[in-house]
Structure 1
């Protein structure tokens, strides 16, 4: 059996296409399904099943559209009870295809109540299990995404589900959907596939002695939950429509002045281009693998968007990332700001930033996650996690009469924060090319004035 795995790094997820004698099974496809269907067509594969392991919290599923386009059988966990026709997957009720290929549903609740893994058998032999958000590589799917009221119950269910999967033969290939980089997982090991035997030997969560200990470990340090997650499950219950067009109209800078207030202007240019001149009120999110993640976390869900891009930037990639999480209304793109009113923010390297930070009365704003701050703190810095900066506003400790030095791990989140701070009347300076860890180390050197 051949396995093709498609990584979506910005969301930390994988879609798997399993092929046996020209028959294919596609598991947990994201909404942009063309890449999966083209790979199947190139190999002359007939898709027999398209399956989702659960109602995804972090992206819109493309399963229903992939099944409709190919004539494959759409399979969802029986407990999902979606608002559209599908084949319900019941625990241990085999779904048989040609060539001795069998899909065996295994009820593995915990990440979500309906979560179902799929054991793939060829000629009666188990060869792989698509574990979705249950057993992951060196980790497990989070049980707290549906709210704190259900987290304890789901964690205890997840413990049993992990051990159900751990009881499979050791040589069975483990193909999770969530992996390192996904906020649906408790951790990661830098690998995205494994085997049951490798996980039994090395996954620290399988070594815990009881469901209570597992629950305590999983819920001890709650991770942040992106704002758009709460919209994905209900949308997948209803069924996601096809992808919107990837080409968007070209707009002029003058068009920005007449936009309705609900339209969000998102500047996707590199940070140095933004620093040289950005549109006041816009949110600066550099185009990268996690562009969609930050847009979904920081902007009103589903809001209409106008992009600002450099000529030649991959606008289609930005539109794709937005569409994966339900932002379908990209009204257009501006690639020339000539003649428009623009503002600036400053960018500093590590040593200049450190020198500025040592000035009397310096204001340093740390916008990293709580976990990052616990690992490496920056003495004297004011901390506000980036999404909280947008939702709760600028900390009262910051003085708008003085510049604000903004730091994260690399400058990416600080750039976003700079546009938010400017909107609130502050003058930001972004640490770029380095982060709080390097800044803290530099500040601790002899003669630095800080220890």
Structure 2
């Protein structure tokens, strides 16, 4: 959580979920509060509210990247729950439409503005202090330097929604003064943004100068937006349905502890057993067959993207705190109950010492030497595997590399050419995950733990996709 900035006589507190690239907000006059786009673990929101009474919970849209905590927060606090009337939610709520004024107190008011684009029924909320607009909660509409993506409801709607997105952004810019703050939900690493957002705070006036939706003509904006869209996490397909039908209450009870024998059996069956430690700890020693997805990165995003939905997941961490942190991350995307958990160091969790293994690592300078026929003590670089996204690959990649995005690798391991594999991503996190999948498939692998930005200066030849 960041410190709440003063906006007139009101305060707006940011509740950040950096692992998913999203923000929730709590606006208060000291006595009453309004919450916008709460994540599922609403204890953070209740803690942020302090003594202020949460009177209103608002959703900008039916979210596709996380399970909302709005319904549960309203139940727990007695707050009114507001969502777009057009979404026709089956649970008790206040149906909202363009132009509605929600008066929470004599100072704290929220005005509803229809801003379709990210979804058809998307709403933004102008925060007013005694009738004066001070900022706007934009959800997936106007973001910092970009807008929300427009293809989440299907490619057949993406162009129409892109046109709506352009008009909605301009609607907000015309409606509000240049000094009005914008508070987006997405855009801090979320796959819900059309392109990478930039900055940590902004105003309407600043966005007029830098945001393509406000600087490009509609057709140019549409073409640019659609051309830049890349794949998004597969679990998004389950989020909207969960949110519109009403998520069930949160359950963070600890999963059953798996002793070494059970852990070995789960690995033997090929289940997802996720090692939550840092990738540096993982490559040093781990149980063969486990998947490296450390809590120091977007674990839930990549796990939710790679698994077959509903597959049993076992969590392995150094402590109960790591397991609890991972559970909190996973419930945000609707993975509610891990099948089991185990805590301790790999040597303590091995039913047989033969389960213990390690992964060789390298830098891009090492890769340059290996491609030059000088691998040193490492295996030769028979195959260079790039597991970054399609857009990253198109921008620049290692000459002669094979490209399989991480989210497709589990089902496409057989397509990796024969020989020892040197695998890389943009920084090392995804490379460690990919290396663990390759090892489980019996491949000799080297994980490149280095920044791709340093590849060329390290002597690696790069090219761009045609």
Q: Quick one: distance in 1 between partners of 2:452 and 2:48?
A: 42
Q: Which secondary structure state, in structure 2, belongs to the residue aligned with residue 136 of structure 1?
A: coil
> Offset at 1:196?
1.3
Q: 2: CA distance between counterparts of 1:281 and 1:98? A: 57
> Which structure 2 residues correspond to residues 336-415 of structure 1 after superposition, within 5 A?
336-340=348-352, 341-359=355-373, 362-396=382-416, 398-399=417-418, 402-415=419-432
Of 207, 211, 214, which aligns to 2:215?
A: 207
- Counterpart Cα distance in 2 of 1:180 and 1:394: 34
**2:50 aligned with 1:4, yes or no?**
no
Query: How does 1:103-114 map onto structure 2 within 5 Å?
Result: 103-114=110-121
Inter-partner Cα distance in structure 2 for 1:71 and 1:200: 39
> Per-residue displacement from partner, 1:33-56 (whole Å, max 9, x unpaired)?
101101112xx1011100110000
Q: Within 5 Å, which residues of 2 pair with 1:257-336?
A: 257-259=264-266, 261=269, 263-311=271-319, 314-335=322-343, 336=348
Q: CA deviation at 1:279?
A: 3.4
Deviation at 1:153?
1.0
Structure 1, unpaired ranges of 5+: 446-451
Q: Which residue of 1 aligns with 2:127?
A: 120
- Equivalent of 1:138, from 142, 145, 149? 145
**4+ runs deviating over 6 angstroms:** none
Normalized against structure 1, the TM-score is what? 0.92
Alpha-carbon shift at residue 246 of structure 1 (Å): 4.8
Whether 2:62 is the aligned partner of 1:68: answer: no
Deviates more, 1:387-396 or 1:362-371: 387-396
Q: Compared with structure 1, are the counterparts of its residues 273 and 122 closer, same or farther at alpha carbon in structure 2 (3 Å cutoff)?
A: closer
Determine helix, strand or coil for the equivalent of 1:152. helix
Structure 1 partner of 2:29: 20
- 8 Å contact kept, 1:25–1:50: yes
Q: Which moved more, 1:331-340 or 1:150-159?
A: 331-340
Q: How far off its partner does 1:404 sit?
A: 0.7
C-alpha RMSD of the superposition: 2.0
| 1:260-279 Cα deviation digits (max 9, x unpaired) | 95852112122243334433
Cα 1:410–1:202, aligned 2, differ >3 Å: closer, same or farther? closer
- Which deviates more from structure 2 when the two are superposed, residues 172-181 or residues 229-238? 172-181
Distance 1:364 1:98, change over 3 A: same
| SS at 2:86 equivalent | helix
Provide the residue aligned with 2:435 in structure 1: 418
Partner in structure 2 of residue 57 of structure 1: 64
Q: How many residues align?
A: 438
1:193 Cα deviation after fit: 3.0
In the alignment, which residue of structure 1 is the partner of 2:4?
none
- C-alpha contact (below 8 Å) 1:262/1:303 kept by paired residues: no
- Map of 1:449 onto structure 2: none
Q: Alignment partner for residue 150 of structure 1, among 154, 157, 164?
A: 157
Give the distance between the partners of 1:444 and 1:349, measured in 2 at CA: 11
Indicate conservation of the 8 Å contact 1:356/1:362, yes or no. Answer: no
> Given the superposition, is the C-alpha separation of residues 219 and 13 from structure 1 closer, same or farther in structure 2, using an over 3 Å criterion?
same
Q: Is the 8 A contact 1:77 1:114 kept in 2?
A: yes
Answer yes or no: is the 8 Å Cα contact 2:84–2:122 preserved in 1.
yes
Q: Which deviates more from structure 2 when the two are superposed, residues 138-147 or residues 308-317?
A: 308-317
Structure 2: stretches of 5+ with no match in the other structure: 1-9, 374-379, 462-466
